[in-house]
């Protein structure tokens, strides 16, 4: 008997509707506040732990975006989401790219919008999530629970995978070696 592994299209949040209870709540929040549709011009993708079912109660919703003009993106994000609780926005550099990071609260979720000048599917957050998803599908439930337990103990996702896989060196870089 062959087991077929379902591929998830993470570029469209509809997969959340049939997910676990927290994924369904996230879907409802994103739709109710029209967050993805308001960002559609920037090719938004929900990334991180919630899409791949290794989130913990304090995990936020991370949305990456492609912004060729960071100033325009920052202005649009500010004007669109500034009415949400705890809204903040900052400019920084990540992986040698201009980056805009906005945070706010929507329903029970902290939302982080992350805009970079790289296309979303080339950003490390997306690449890491795809690799982590593949690793989770290849391993058993005990592996997934080990990642969750490490996250509950305070480890970030990539270092948690690094520990669980016995990786040496920088887990963020080492995980990219699993890319196929």
User: Domain segments of the chain: what residues?
Assistant: 13-178
Helix, strand counts (H, E) of the chain: 7, 5
Encode pLDDT of 107-158 as tens digits.
999 999 999 999 999 999 999 999 999 999 999 999 999 999 999 999 999 9
Can you give the C-alpha Rg of the chain in angstroms?
16
| C-alpha closest to that of 161 among 169, 122, 23, 15 | 169
| Ordered per-residue pLDDT tens for the chain, 180 residues | 333 345 788 999 999 999 999 999 999 999 999 999 999 999 999 999 999 999 999 999 999 999 999 999 999 999 999 999 999 999 988 878 889 999 999 999 999 999 999 999 999 999 999 999 999 999 999 999 999 999 999 999 999 999 999 999 999 999 999 987
pTM over 0.75: yes
Backbone phi and psi for residue 24, each to the nearest 5 degrees, phi listed first: -65, -40
Question: Would you state the structure tokens that stand for residue 160, as one six-digit string?
Answer: 């948690």
CATH architecture of 13-178: 2-Layer Sandwich (3.30)
| C-alpha closest to that of 132 among 93, 108, 165 | 165
Q: What distance lies between CA 130 and its chain's CA centroid?
A: 10
């Amino acid at each position: 008997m062959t087991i077929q592994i379902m591929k998830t299209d993470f570029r469209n949040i509809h997969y959340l509707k049939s997910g676990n209870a927290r994924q369904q709540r996230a879907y409802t929040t994103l739709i109710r506040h029209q967050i993805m549709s308001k960002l559609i011009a920037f090719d938004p993708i929900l990334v991180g732990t919630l899409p791949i079912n290794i989130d913990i109660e304090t995990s936020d919703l991370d949305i990456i975006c492609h912004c060729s003009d960071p100033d325009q993106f920052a202005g649009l994000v500010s004007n669109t989401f500034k009415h949400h609780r705890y809204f903040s926005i900052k400019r920084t550099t990540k992986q040698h790219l201009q980056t805009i990071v906005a945070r706010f609260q929507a329903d029970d979720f902290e939302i982080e919008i992350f805009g970079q000048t790289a296309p979303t599917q080339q950003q490390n957050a997306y690449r890491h999530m795809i690799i982590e998803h593949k690793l989770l599908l290849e391993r058993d439930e005990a592996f997934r629970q080990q990642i969750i337990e490490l996250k509950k103990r305070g480890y970030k996702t990539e270092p948690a995978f690094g520990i669980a896989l016995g990786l040496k060196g920088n887990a963020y870089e080492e995980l990219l070696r699993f890319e196929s």
